[in-house]
Chains A and B, each alone.
Chain A
Amino acid sequence: MELRRKARTGAKIPMSSMADIAFLLIVFFMVTTIFKLEQGLAITLPRSEAGEKIPRERIAHVWIDERSTILIDDLVVGLDDIEPMVTAKIRENPALIIAFNTDDAARYRVVNQAMDRLKRANALRVSFTTMPEGQ
């Protein structure tokens, strides 16, 4: 007599640990990834208590580091390039706010010179970016 086994084993792969693996990968990549810094300048921002939030979409950044290097939105510029660059930006968006991200230890002279150029370019809304106190 022939015995036929009718054993059907459903092939099931447990999927519940998929998420664990995926998260492990995410965490791994998050930890190992080094972001390209927008500014490329090492800046220690001054701190403030009275700082207000600035609407992000209206900002153009001016970065000034300790050694008086000036960057406008990722481009290294000289003092004389500020006026034409900002004029072009103001034409696109008249409500533009120029945010000064200046190093705590920078000399005031450079900031003043940059502000002078902004006045000439008629970019009168400025903001001095700071770190909130106690962070």
Chain B
Amino acid sequence: MARFGQRTKINPGIVGESSMSDVAFLLLIFFIVSTTFPEIGLTLILPSKAGEVKEVARQNVMQIITARTGAYFVGTEETPTSIRQIKGRVKERLTENERLIISLESHPDAPYGRMIDALDEVMLSYSELQQEGVSRDRRISLKMLDVE
């Protein structure tokens, strides 16, 4: 006679592991597909070729000149300005004058990277001023010096 209650069926508790790899691959592929590396840049809007040429008062323009050697000159000054001083000077002028246009002028043979360094400092000045509660429109102009 069968004795009930004495059935000892041991369940060996196995968790299916074979689909672990499927799950891992699914996650891997999901992250590969969804990851995008952000591209970072300094954005500007160029003036349109068709637009009229406006005359601007000289005191409303701050020239930052990148020389052939990569040195910076502000306005008509004879002594170069170091890259570290640019931000302070730009901020000072911008606080005084809300219509200020920053004109970044470069020698044709100036290294592009040096111009970008100056542009970076100018951009930083605008955002730092914004944080200090002084908001100014970004009025930046890029120009190549006429040397030939």
Chain A residues proximal to chain B, CB less than 8 Å: 15-16, 18-19, 22-23, 26, 46-54, 56, 59, 64, 97, 99-100, 102-112, 115, 118-120, 122-132
Contact = CB atoms under 8 A, between A and B. Distances in A.
Contact of B109 (A59, A109, A131): A109
Contacts of B109: 107-109
Interface string B1-22: 0000000000000000110110
Chain A, interface SS category = mixed
A71 to B, nearest CB: 15
B43 A52 contact: yes
B43 to A, nearest CB: 4
Interface string B105-117: 0111111110111
Contacts of B142: 112, 115
B111 A16 contact: no
Range of interface residues on B (Cβ < 8 Å): 35 or more
B46 A118 contact: yes
Contact of A109 (B36, B39, B117, B144): B144
Given A16-B18, A107-B111, A53 B39 contact: yes
A127 B106 CA distance: 18
Nearest to B104: A108
Contacts of B107: 108
